[in-house]
Structures are given as structure tokens and as C-alpha cells.
Structure 1
Amino acid sequence: MIFFILLAASGAAAATGVLFKPGAWYVALQKPSFTPPNWAFPLVWTALYILMALAGARAAFAGGPLLGLAMALWALQIALNTLWTPVFFGAHRIRLGMVIISIMWITIAILMGVLWQIDWLAGMLFVPYLAWVTVAAALNGSIWRNNPDALRS
């Protein structure tokens, strides 16, 4: 049951991608050469959301003294994940998006370590997510640097 609850939370984060699409503003931005193709984003995010829910469910099943911390960090990272899309794509706030994704990256890294202590496989299931958010943060940073006229205060 916990898997489906965490998957539903992930689905709420995913819904922001439907509500706040990249659109013409994003297409016009100067992006780095390592920008993934547009078709990759929904495929990768779908897989990552499933892995995140599975990791959280494994940790919940394993239990232990760090479970409360793990679930709090899990909730924080999904909240930040949910917030980033409307800030970046909806409000076009590139700098604020960079702040959010940086905090998200730190939260995911800490969560991964906590999960590893609860259930090593749960920790490993977060490795692809941290890797993808690393790419997304580098992309956000590059867009920030290369598009000074697109910045909003």
C-alpha cells in the first residue's frame, strides 16, 4: 500500500510537467550540447518516479530508527521536485529554479545515504535519480549562464 501512496505523490509531481510545459520560451533558450532530447524527459521521469516509490516502500517495509528521517527527506525531495517545474517552466524563474534544484540535489544525496543504511537496494534505487537531477541541475545552470536576457527577478 505504501508503494501506491508514494507513487501517487510522484504522480502529483509528474502532473506539474503536464500543467507547465516547456513551450516556446524554453525552445528559444540557448541550451548546452548535452541537453537530452525532448522525448527522453517523460520516459526517464516515469522510470524515476517508479524507482523512488519502490525505494520508499522498501525502506518502509524494512523499518528501523532512520525510517522517520528517510520518509521526511523523501517528502521534502518530492515537494522540491513538484515545485521546480512551475518555477522554471511556468514562472520562467531560472535563478530560483537553480536554487530549488540545488536544494533538491542535496536532499536526494542525503536521502540516498539514509536509505542505504535502512536497505541497501533502496539506496541504490535512488542512484539514477541523483544522476538525472545532476544533469538537470547542470542544464538549469547552463541555461542561467547562457540566457541572461531571459532572467526574471
Structure 2
Amino acid sequence: MRSSWIMPIAVALLAALGVAFIGGSITDLGPWYENLAKPDWTPPRPVFPIAWTLIFALAAMAGVTAWRKAPNVQVSDTVIGLFAANGFLNILWSLLFFRMQRPDWAFYELIVLWLSIAVLIVYCWRLSRLSGLLLVPYLAWVTVAGALNWQVVQLNPPFG
């Protein structure tokens, strides 16, 4: 491995771990969440940390790959900015859903999160097809999460 890869990998790893840690610390699976009516197809609890670990690892690889393929500083800064905005939206969803106990607001925020992933895929794809492909599982998982979120909103009384 060339030494020029070390810094981007370290930064991507720290960013992914930071988003995962903050999002995880906001996620409260206590009585409020347990008492929500959820659809029968809700994945078992152990699936979530496994899926998110894989998604964050793939996203970090996608980010490094796209950043390394950027033809200039402006494009590499855009890659970093898009990933940073996406990380913020990822954390915001957990804050809205779990801490504020507003799955209704979280659902609408999730639409913005989904769009940010779609933008990432398109932008990164232009730099590296591999980078774009590495983000597809993230979009798929958030699509499932959106359907699950919507069902929680539909199955439970009004929030707030």
C-alpha cells in the first residue's frame, strides 16, 4: 500500500466510526421503542449493527476511492463535503427518531438522507464506478429503513 493512501483511509475510518458512534449513542432501544407497533417484516435486532457496520465500511472505501480519483482539489473537497453532509443527515435521523421520538419527522428527514445517498452514488460513480457501486447497499438499506419508518408512523398513534 502506498503511503499516500494512509491519510485518506485514516480520515475515512475516523469519520465512519464517528458517525457510527454518535448515531449509536443517540439510538435508544428502550421501552418507548420496544412498545412501538412494528411491521411483521421488521429485521431482527442483531441485523441492524451488522448491516450498519458493513455499510459504513463500504462507504468509507467508496469515499477514499472517489477522493483518490478526484482530478483536482475542488472535486476532492466536494466528495468530502457530500460525505460530511450525508453523515450529518444519518445522525439527524437517529436524533429525530429515537431521542425526539418523532418517527414522523424522521421519515421526512429520511427522504433527504436517501437523496443525499443517491447524489453520492451519482457523483462518486463519475469518478470511480467502484466507488458508486460500494454505496448501493447503503441506498438499499436506507430504502428498507424508510419503508420500516413509514410503517411505524402508520401503525402508531400520532406523535408529538
* Same fold per superposition (TM over 0.5): yes
CA distance in 2 between partners of 1:128 and 1:48 (Å): 7
Q: Which residue of 2 aligns with 1:76?
A: 85
Select 2:9's aligned residue among 3, 13, 27. Answer: 3
CA distance in 2 between partners of 1:87 and 1:37 (Å): 22
The alpha-carbon deviation at position 148 of structure 1 amounts to: 1.9
Select 2:67's aligned residue among 60, 82, 85. Answer: 60
SS at match of 1:64: coil
Q: Is the CA contact (8 Å cut-off) linking 1:67 and 1:118 kept in structure 2?
A: no
Q: Which residue of 1 aligns with 2:43?
A: 36
Identity of aligned residues (%): 36
The alpha-carbon deviation at position 21 of structure 1 amounts to: 2.0
Q: Is the CA contact (8 Å cut-off) linking 1:55 and 1:122 kept in structure 2?
A: yes
**Total equivalences in the alignment:** 151
The alpha-carbon deviation at position 96 of structure 1 amounts to: 1.4
Q: Is the CA contact (8 Å cut-off) linking 1:4 and 1:53 kept in structure 2?
A: no
SS at match of 1:123: helix
Segments of 5+ residues of structure 1 without an aligned counterpart are none
Q: Superposition RMSD on alpha carbons, in Å? A: 1.4
Q: Which residue of 1 aligns with 2:56?
A: 49
Runs of 4+ in 1 over 6 A off after TM superposition: none
Select 1:24's aligned residue among 23, 27, 31. Answer: 31
CA distance in 2 between partners of 1:144 and 1:7 (Å): 34
Q: Which residue of 2 aligns with 1:101?
A: 110
TM-score (norm 1): 0.92
Matched to 1:11, the amino acid is L
1:75-105 CA-to-partner distances (Å, cap 9, x unmatched) read 1111101111122111101111112211000
Matched to 1:89, the amino acid is F
1:93-147 CA-to-partner distances (Å, cap 9, x unmatched) read 1111112211000010111011111000000000000000001111111101111
SS at match of 1:148: coil
